[in-house]
Structures are given as C-alpha cells and as structure tokens.
Amino acid sequence: MKSSPEMLKVYKRVRSRTVHVVPDEIVVEILVRLPVKALTRFKSVSKAWCAIISDPFFIRLHLQQQSAKNQEQAPSFLIIPHTLYKAIDSESEFESVYPMLHCDGLFVLPTDTKVYVFNPATHDVLKLRNDQKDEWFYPTVGLGLDLLTSKYKVARFFYRSLNFKKRAYSMGVEIFTIGGDGVDSCWSTVEDCPFPIFPGVVVYFKGSLYLRIWYELVERPPQEFLRFNLENETFSLMCYPELLQPKGKHLDLIELCGELCVAQCLAEQIDIWMLRSDDGHEWVKQYVIRLPDAWNFEVFSVMPNDVKIIRWGSCLYHYDDAQKDTREMVRLDRLRYMNSKVDSFDFVGQEIFLFNILPYVESLIPVTKKRHHSLAK
C-alpha cells in the first residue's frame, strides 16, 4: 500500500484550492468496504465518523457487504486450537468448554461455569451471568438473531435430569437477550422442549435454531429436525428431505451458499440436500461428494466455482467434482500464528490435540456497551 507523505502533501495542496467535503452518503459507501480494525481506528477521525461507524444500520450494511465478499471470493474461518488442560490453571474461570456457534461475527462459548459471547474482530466480550436455578448438564447452547427485534439471543437447552435406561428425562430452555434493557439482561425460562435434544448439535439459520432429536430417548421418534424460533421462542418440527434414506445415520445440518442443507453420509459418498428458498422451499439434492472414505469427511463450504471445502481431522481439502480432484489445502497443525508478544510467527506447538474450525464473517456487531460511543454525541 502506497501511503507516502509526499503523495498526501501534494493532494492536500491541490485540494485546498476548493474546500471540498465528501458527502456522508459517499463516506458510508466507502467505509462499508473496510475491515473492522481500520473502522475501529477511524472512529477517532471525528465525532461524525464515530457516529456513522457505530450506527446499527451501518453495522448491518457492513455485515452484508462482508458476507457477500465471503461468498464471492474466499470463505473465511476462525480456527481455535485446543490444548489439553495446558492453559487452564487454578485461576481460570472454567475447566471445560462445549462446542461453539457462530452467527454474524459473534461466537457463543459455553463452558462448565459461564457462557461467553464474544466478537473476535472488535475484541468485545460479554460474560453472561450464571444465575439459573437448575443444575444443568448435557448443555446445548445456540446463538442467533431475533428477526423481529434485531437483537441477538443466546438459547440454552439443558437436561435437569436424565435416565437413559428408563428413557426418562426433563429438559429446560433458557434465553438471554443481548443488549436488551435492564429487564432482559438475565436468563428467562421459556416453554419446555417437546423432545430430548441431542447435545452439542445446533445450527443457526435465518431467525431459528435447528436441533437434532436424541432418538435413543424416544420410543417412536419422528423423522424430523427440531426448530426453535428465536422471535416467538417456540418449537416446531421440520421434515427431512423426502427422498432421504430412512434412519440415515450421520445427518448433519449445515449452512452452505446461504441456504440450509442436510448432509447425509453413505458408504462412499456424501449427499447434500438443500432447502431451496427460491424454489418453493423444496429439498433438492444439490451436491454429491464421492470419496472412498466419505464418512471421515465433514463438508465445510462451497466456493463460487462449485469447489467444496471438506475437512478430515486437522486437514482441509479442496474437492472438485468436475476435475475429479481432491487435494490438501491446509494442515491446521502446521499453520503458523502471529504471536504479538514476540512479534513473530510461531507454530501452535505440540500440545494441541484438536482444532475447532468455524465459518466466520467479520462484523462490528457489539455485545457490550462501549464508553467511547457517548463521546460521539
């Protein structure tokens, strides 16, 4: 990037002939294309710029722009290396973590003590109060947008009691609204879940959380997914694709190309069904991935040229059906990370035993109230 002071000086001299101010609407058009770090820095340009960058409408516009960029060009992921108790000392706030979920640049991290919501791009972290009355285990924690209020909600599904042999259980559901007024800033209990939920599996898609039923706990389980609508906080059932082989094991819900998909793993192939919203909400068999050991793979992302990104262990692969080509794309355990303490790149090290990797889109969405916002007014 050229940013020579000479260039700027020349520019200033020429500009100063006519005092010229770029209109706000164009400033917005330009800023919306910038990454979060630059935008955060530019809050200190002027009060007007701080107000633009902190405006909820701008934040949503910026998110749309970033999402489109991810789909048009290259998808982006957040990689979370896990050590085995290495980094956890006696002062740590938690001992174990549960699966994370991403929504619009925000992550929810459930632990054995508290639930955290954070935005890695803005360094914003919200620690949710842990004031539920019930003991909870086998938790499933989801995060998503309530489309009516445009507020993000954390939903916690948990077992109060569970007897596997007797198929007896009691499930609770609690909701936390982020950025709500004082009244909302605690967990609220909603109606009990009509079916037992398979722990740790949850997908957010367009205003709802999708969950899997824990079949072993139900005598005659319906061949359906459970949908929890974040707007009215109620459950409903959603059918599988009709043509799907019955009792197919390994059914995964994923979001691909901005549509809800079900991946079914068969012996040597993975079928991907897409709920096409432009096609009368029909399940369509969109892709088939043929590989000798298909069951080892997890489908991650589909690029604009129809190349799929699939994962096996700590390795990501390119899968190109047209070219009959599968090749290694990146080994997560061989990635080097910027270590800001020593200002150089480091390997993650030997102690890592697994990597979480989640689709990610950078956003400005806040989870806590910022002090500097009051300055812009």
Q: What span, in angstroms and rounded, lies between the C-alpha atoms of 52 and 29?
A: 11
Half-sphere exposure of 130 (CA within 13 A, CB side): 12
How would you class 357 by CB atoms within 10 Å of its CB: exposed for 0-12, middle for 13-18, buried for 19 or more?
middle
* Residues in region 290-319 near other proteins by CB under 8 A: 304-306
31 makes contact with other proteins (CB under 8 A): yes
Q: Can you tell me which residue has the tokens 């088939």?
A: 288
Minimum CB distance to other proteins, residue 98 (Å)? 27
Rule CB under 8 A: say whether 76 interacts with other proteins. no
Residue 47 found at the interface with other proteins (CB under 8 A): yes
Nearest-angstrom CA–CA distance, 307 and 294: 16
Q: Return the DSSP state at 191.
A: P
> Given the complex with other proteins, which of 46 and 234 has the nearer CB atom?
46
Q: How far is the CB of 179 from other proteins (least distance, A)?
A: 18
What is d(CA 77, CA 197) in angstroms, rounded to the nearest whole number?
Answer: 27
Among positions 227-246, residues that touch other proteins (CB under 8 A) are none
Rounded CA separation 140/159 (Å): 9
29 is a site residue for other proteins (CB under 8 A): yes
E strand or H helix that includes residue 320: strand 315-320
Q: Which of 172, 168, 167 is nearest to 136 (CA)?
A: 172
> Which residue in the set 71, 132, 170, 269 belongs to the binding site for other proteins (CB under 8 A)?
71
Of 22, 183, 322, 342, the residue at the interface with other proteins (CB under 8 A) is 22
Residues 77 to 96 in contact with other proteins, rule: CB under 8 A: none
Site for other proteins in 88-147 (CB under 8 A): 123
Judged by DSSP in three states, 227 sits in: strand
Q: How far is the CB of 32 from other proteins (least distance, A)?
A: 8
**Cα 184 from chain centroid (whole Å):** 23
Mask for 249-288, x = binds other proteins (CB under 8 A) = --------xxx-----------------xx-------x--
Q: Which residues bind other proteins (CB under 8 A)?
A: 1-3, 7-8, 11-12, 14-15, 19-23, 25-27, 29-31, 33-35, 37-38, 40-49, 64-65, 67-69, 71-73, 123, 257-259, 277-278, 286, 304-306, 340, 370-372, 375
